[in-house]
Amino acid sequence: MSCQIELLHVSLQYGLRDVVRDVSVQIEEGEFFVIIGPNGAGKTTLLKSITGLHRLTAGEILLRQRSVSKYSRKELARSLAMVPQHINAEFPFTVAETVIMGRYPHLGLLAVEGKRDLEIAEQAMAFTEVLHLADRRLGQLSGGERQRVIIARAICQQSKVLLLDEPTASLDPAHQLRIMDLMERLRQREQITIIMVSHDLNLASAYADRLLLLNEGRVAALGTPNEVLSGETLEQSYGCRLHVDEHPLLGTPRVSLLPRTDH
Ligand code: ADP
């Protein structure tokens, strides 16, 4: 496996506030990498920084050994696809129109999509099981369906790195699993690198190769789920009581919330 993304001593500020502080990590091609941490830890900011959207205050981000600041917007869009946290339900396009937008980084100036682009879009919709919704508008879909459309658009982009910001938030358990299984299949089929922000420690434990635990913008822990998901480490970062044991069926760490007993 080769290194796909490398963060070297990355720091970021909003105004004068440090939001990400000296984060260094190497993410391998085909890795399922999940960023966890409390609200406000800097997870979304760090994820967006990989797309070159934020100017770093220090450090460097390399995509295949080349600084992301050296890529053009179009080159970056061919290499990285982002599935954002909030998808505007008022987006005035149909599912098919939304998904085909993933081809834009591959088209020349003023070029229209060709037969091959339409085929790729159709395959992406079939893969995420939204083909039957092709003519519906985004506003007419459930949260889970909309999420799968945006993932189809990202797949249509055919980039080797997929960045997802809490893709399972607000989905019921069956839809959460569907999204996670989709990611796992993509990774296995296409060797796509998945970098995901998640609040769900148990999904992260079950699917991730490695976890990055961010706290106040710093790396609090980095490693396999077994290495990162210890009760003590999590309690220090999240500031609440958590119990970690081994999942009886999966063998992965299982995290349970412990209610406060002093009230
Ligand atoms: P997380 O994803 O871990 O919840 P974020 O990366 O969204 O954290 O935010 C990290 C910190 O930066 C938070 O304190 C948040 O309030 C602040 N922040 C996020 N976006 C902006 C912004 N556009 N301008 C100023 N501060 C921001």
Measured from the Cβ of residue 108, the count of other Cβ atoms closer than 10 Å reads 6
Predicted TM-score (pTM) of this structure: 0.92
CB 216 within 8 A of CB 59: no
pLDDT in tens, 44-82: 999 999 998 888 999 999 999 999 999 998 889 889 999
Q: Is the pLDDT of residue 262 over 70?
A: no
| Average confidence score pLDDT of the chain | 91
Tell how far the Cα of 35 is from the centroid of ligand 1, in angstroms: 15
Higher pLDDT, 66 or 259: 66
Q: What is the number of H-type helices and E-type strands within the chain? A: 9, 12
Domain limits, the chain: 3-257
pLDDT in tens, 1-22: 678 999 999 999 999 899 999 9
Roughly what angle, to the nearest 10 degrees, separates helices 143-156 and 173-190? 10
Tell how far the Cα of 9 is from the centroid of ligand 1, in angstroms: 19
14 close to ligand 1 (CB < 6 Angstrom):
yes
CATH architecture of 3-257: 3-Layer(aba) Sandwich (3.40)
pLDDT score, position 212: 98
Q: Which of 45, 47, 53 to mutate to test the pocket of ligand 1 (most atoms within 8 A of CB)?
A: 45
- What is the number of the ligand 1 atom nearest to the C-alpha of 47? 6
pLDDT score, position 109: 62
The C-alpha R_g of the chain, in whole angstroms, comes to: 19
- What is the number of the ligand 1 atom nearest to the C-alpha of 48? 6
